C-alpha cells in the first residue's frame, strides 16, 4: 500500500474535525455536516472493494464511539462503501477506473467530482438521518435535514479534497 | 466444492457487506440510552480531558452572562433567607395538639432536607442530533450518581444516566428517550413532557386533561411525580396548544433553559429516591401477586 501515511493522517484529521468541531458547534438542527465521509470519497479509485468496506467499517465504528450513536454511523458508512465501486464505475466508466488514482478534482474534473461526491454523500446521509430518526412520522423534517446537511457536507468535502491534493503535490 | 468456492469468491464483497451491516443493525436495534451512555463513558477516557480544556476556554466567553445570572440568583436567595431571619410568630398550640394525637413529634426532625445540591460544569453538549447527551466534568469521585437531576438557570436540563471516575453522562431534555411529567403552574393538571426532535427550543407536553384552562405564556413546571426532578422547577412557557380527539391538550412548550449555551449546572440529588422507589416497586409486586 502506498500513500498509507497520508490516508492515516487524513483519517485522524477528519475524526478530530468531526468530533470536536462539526458535531459540536450546532449551527442548526437542520445542518449536521458529516465531513468524515471525505475519507471514503478520497480513497484510491483502484482500492479493492473489500478493503474499502473494511476501512468504512473502521471509520464508522470510530465515529460511533465518539458520537455515541451505537451503530448509525457504521450502518451508513458501510452502505456508502458498498455503493462506492458501482458509483465510480457509473460516473467514470471502466477505463478510467482501471487507471486508478485519487478521485479529486484534479483527477476527475470539477463536474464529475461533484457528481460522484454528492451522490455518495447523499446515500450516506439518507441512511444516517433515516436511521437516526427511526420513523416516517416527521419525514419532511428528516428530508430537509438530509438535503441541507448534504449540501454543507459537500462544501466541506470540497475543501478537504483541495487540502489533501495540495499535500500530495508538495511531495 | 470448487465451484462453491468460486461462487463465494464471486459474491464475497456482497456477503461481507451483508454480514457487517447485519451486525451493525443488530447492535443498533438492541441499543438503549444506557448502552449509548456507556459508549460516551468509554470515549471520555480518551477525549474527556480535551473536552474539559475546550469548554474551559469556552466558559471565558460566557463569564459576563454567568455573572449576571449568578447575582440574580443571589438576590433571590437573599430574599428567601430574609423570611427565615424574621419568622412569623406561630403559637405553640398546634404542636401540643399534634403531640396528643401522634405522640411526641418533637423528636422527629421537622424539616428534613429532601434534596442535596451541588455544582458541575458542562464539558460536552450537543443539540443538533435526535439523541443528545450532556457530559459533566464530575463523576463518582464528586458523589455524582445516576438519576440525579440537572438544573440550569432554574430550569430543567436533563438527568445523569452514567458516571465514570471523573465524568458523568447525562440524558439531555433534547433526547427522544427523555420523558418526565409536567404541570401547569398553580393547578394540578399534568401531562407527560417529551421532545419530538424537531427544535431545540421546544418540548411537548401531551395528555393534559381538557378541563385545564390554558393560555399562551402560562408556566409549565415539574411535578412531584418524578423521582428525579424536584417539584416546581421551571420547564418552560406555553407557546401554543391544541385539543386532541376532544379529550386532551397537546401543548408546545418553549424551553426555559438555554440548551445551546449550557455551562454551569446544578446537580440535584433526591435523598429519598431509593426509599420511594423501593416502596413503589414493592407495591406493584404486591398488587400483581394479588391478581
Cell 424539616 belongs to which residue? B111
Cβ distance of A31 and B127 shorter than 8 Å: no
Residue B159 contacts residue B229 (beta carbons within 8 Å): yes
Give the bridge partners for B133, in sequence order: B171
Q: What is the ipTM of this complex?
A: 0.83
The string of pLDDT tens digits covering residues B201-229 is 999 999 998 888 888 999 999 998 888 89
Mind telling me how many Å the CA of B24 is from chain A's nearest CA?
A: 5
**What confidence category does residue A171 fall into, taking pLDDT thresholds of 50, 70 and 90?**
very low
The domains of chain B are located at 2-44, 118-271
Cβ distance of B127 and A29 shorter than 8 Å: yes
Distance CA A8, CA B228 (A): 45
Selection from A23-27, B6-10, B56-60 with the highest mean pLDDT: B6-10
Take residue A140 and report the three cell numbers written for it. Answer: 419532511
Residue B242 contacts residue B208 (beta carbons within 8 Å): no
Q: What is the DSSP string of A85-122?
A: HHHHHHHH-HHHHHH----SHHHH-HHHHHHHHHHHHH
pTM of structure = 0.75
For A21-70, the three-class secondary structure string (H helix, E strand, C coil) is HHCCCCCECCECCCCCHHHHHHCCCCCCHHHHHHHHHHHHHHHHHHHCCC
- Domains of chain A, CATH where assigned: 4-170 (1.10.1760)
Q: Is the pLDDT of residue B94 over 70?
A: no
DSSP state letter for B216: T
**What confidence category does residue B8 fall into, taking pLDDT thresholds of 50, 70 and 90?**
confident
Q: What is the mean pLDDT of residues B118-133?
A: 86
Average pLDDT for chain B: 82
The string of pLDDT tens digits covering residues B154-196 is 889 999 998 888 889 999 999 988 999 999 998 989 999 999 8
What is the pairing mode between strands B168-175 and B131-136?
Answer: antiparallel
pLDDT of residue A154: 94
Whether the CB of B206 is below 8 Å from some CB of chain A: the reply is: no
Mind telling me how many Å the CA of B75 is from chain A's nearest CA?
A: 33
The beta-strand segments (E) located in B71-218 are: 115-125, 131-136, 149-152, 155-163, 168-175, 180-184, 190-194, 202-209
A contact test, residue of B30, B130, B131 with most A CBs within 10 A = B130
Cβ distance of A79 and B130 shorter than 8 Å: no
**What confidence category does residue B108 fall into, taking pLDDT thresholds of 50, 70 and 90?**
very low
Residue A82 with chain B: CB contacts under 8 Å: 13, 17, 21
CATH class for the domain made up of B118-271: mainly beta
Amino acid at each position: 500500500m502506498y500513500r498509507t501515511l497520508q490516508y492515516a493522517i487524513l483519517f485522524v484529521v477528519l475524526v478530530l474535525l468531526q468530533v470536536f468541531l462539526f458535531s459540536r458547534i450546532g449551527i442548526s438542527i437542520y445542518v449536521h455536516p458529516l465531513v468524515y465521509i471525505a475519507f471514503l470519497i478520497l480513497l484510491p479509485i483502484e482500492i479493492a472493494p473489500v478493503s474499502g468496506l473494511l476501512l468504512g467499517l473502521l471509520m464508522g465504528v470510530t465515529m460511533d464511539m465518539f458520537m455515541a450513536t451505537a451503530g448509525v454511523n457504521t450502518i451508513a458508512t458501510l452502505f456508502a462503501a458498498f455503493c462506492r465501486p458501482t458509483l465510480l464505475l457509473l460516473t467514470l466508466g471502466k477505463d478510467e477506473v482501471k487507471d486508478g488514482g485519487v478521485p479529486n478534482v484534479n483527477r476527475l474534473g470539477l463536474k464529475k467530482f461533484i457528481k460522484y461526491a454528492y451522490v455518495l454523500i447523499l446515500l450516506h446521509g439518507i441512511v444516517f438521518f433515516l436511521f437516526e430518526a427511526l420513523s416516517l412520522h416527521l419525514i419532511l423534517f428528516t428530508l430537509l435535514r438530509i438535503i441541507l446537511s448534504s449540501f454543507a457536507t459537500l462544501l466541506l468535502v470540497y475543501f478537504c479534497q483541495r487540502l489533501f491534493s495540495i499535500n500530495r503535490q508538495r511531495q | 466444492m470448487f465451484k462453491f468456492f468460486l461462487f463465494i469468491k464471486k459474491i464475497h464483497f456482497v456477503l461481507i457487506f451483508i454480514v457487517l451491516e447485519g451486525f451493525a443493525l443488530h447492535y443498533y436495534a438492541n441499543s438503549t440510552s444506557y448502552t449509548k451512555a456507556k459508549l460516551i463513558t468509554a470515549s471520555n477516557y480518551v477525549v474527556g480531558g480535551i473536552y474539559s480544556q475546550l469548554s474551559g476556554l469556552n466558559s471565558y466567553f460566557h463569564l459576563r452572562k454567568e455573572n449576571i445570572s449568578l447575582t440574580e440568583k443571589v438576590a433571590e436567595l437573599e430574599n428567601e433567607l430574609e423570611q427565615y431571619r424574621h419568622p412569623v410568630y406561630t403559637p405553640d398550640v398546634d404542636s401540643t395538639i399534634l403531640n396528643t394525637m401522634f405522640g411526641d413529634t418533637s423528636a422527629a426532625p421537622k424539616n428534613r432536607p429532601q434534596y442535596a445540591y451541588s455544582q458541575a460544569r458542562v464539558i460536552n453538549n450537543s443539540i443538533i442530533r435526535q439523541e443528545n447527551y450532556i457530559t459533566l466534568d464530575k463523576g463518582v469521585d464528586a458523589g455524582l450518581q445516576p438519576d440525579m437531576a440537572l438544573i440550569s438557570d432554574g430550569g430543567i436540563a436533563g438527568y445523569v444516566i452514567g458516571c465514570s471516575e471523573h465524568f458523568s453522562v447525562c440524558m439531555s431534555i433534547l433526547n427522544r428517550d427523555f420523558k418526565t411529567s409536567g404541570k401547569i403552574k398553580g393547578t394540578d393538571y399534568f401531562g407527560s413532557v417529551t421532545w419530538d426532535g424537531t427544535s431545540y427550543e421546544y418540548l411537548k407536553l401531551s395528555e393534559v386533561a381538557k378541563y385545564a384552562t390554558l393560555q399562551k405564556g402560562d408556566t409549565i413546571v415539574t411535578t412531584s411525580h418524578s423521582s428525579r426532578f424536584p417539584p416546581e422547577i421551571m420547564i418552560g412557557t406555553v407557546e401554543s396548544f391544541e385539543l386532541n380527539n376532544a379529550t386532551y391538550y397537546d401543548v408546545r412548550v418553549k424551553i426555559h433553559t438555554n440548551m445551546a449555551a449550557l455551562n454551569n449546572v446544578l446537580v440535584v440529588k433526591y435523598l429519598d429516591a431509593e426509599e420511594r422507589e423501593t416502596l413503589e416497586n414493592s407495591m406493584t409486586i404486591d398488587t400483581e401477586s394479588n391478581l
